[in-house]
Homo-oligomer: A and B are copies of this chain.
Amino acid sequence: MSNGRAVNGFLLDITGVLYNSIYKSDGIAIPKSAEAVNFLYQHSKVKFLSNAKGNSNRNVARRLQRLGINVREEDVITPAPVVAQYLRENDLRPHLFVRDDVLEYFHGIDTTSPNCVVMGEVEEGFSFDRINRAFRVLIDMPKPLLITMGNGKFFQRIDGPCIDVGAFAAALKFSTNCEVLNIGKPSHFYFEQGMNALGMKPEEIVMIGDDLMSDVGGAQACGMRGIQVRTGKWRPDFEKMGVTPDLTADCLFDAVKQIADNGFRL
């Protein structure tokens, strides 16, 4: 085939597309994802749009490099620095319920008498006491605002699926009736960070991810094309959930190869 529209740039999800996550370890590279990344750096434009909320961009890139996947730090987009920028631009004073590794992004932001909560913590730093502190901040606000780093139902570790931050946002909304602002996929605002980093219009870009709703559906809603890979959190029942990917491939390498073989058209 040589039909389809031009693909000028790629946004790649990271976890479940480049590597699979293991609790408290670097994880395992997905076969041939390193080759796919090298190929895209040589033959197209690529940025990495992740909802990862537990590590700085520097540490995300370093981890991938340790796994043999040569991703440059400056090409990584994660929610924490985007949230920090949003807080600065909107004069928001957060109560921070985030991982220590991303605190650096919030240096200099006033956190006294908070007028919002920023949540990006699950796993080891999550506790009843910490979510309860966030709850108490929200319930005392006249117009409670919760900013979340992503809104996922679950994330995938090698040992199984894990309940994700979207669930705890639903919990806080149930108890405080807060507004929830997701700065992460599938929000349009967050996909714009990827478009801006590529310097392209959405119709030139394909997003490749393992999450049907956040990656594929989110990208399509912004006018990009969305590609589903059958790695990471992909499950067979994704194929009857009402979102139709522009392409479904067994892995990142296969997706890239099909598009490249088609003259970078899809």
Contacts and interface: CB of A to CB of B under 8 A. Distances in A.
Interface of A: 122-124, 126-128, 131-132, 135-136, 139, 153-154, 160-164, 166-176
Quick one: copies of this chain in the complex? Answer: 2
Given A131-B163, A135-B154, A135-B163, A173 B170 contact: yes
Contact of A139 (B139, B154, B168): B154
What DSSP secondary structure best describes chain A's contact surface? helix
Nearest to A134: B163
Contacts of A170: 170-171, 173-174
A97 to B, nearest CB: 12
6 contacts: A126-B127, A131-B163, A132-B163, A135-B167, A139-B154, A168-B171
A87 to B, nearest CB: 24
A10 to B, nearest CB: 29
A171 B151 CA distance: 11
Contacts of A153: 174-176
A162 B161 CA distance: 28
Contacts of A160: 136
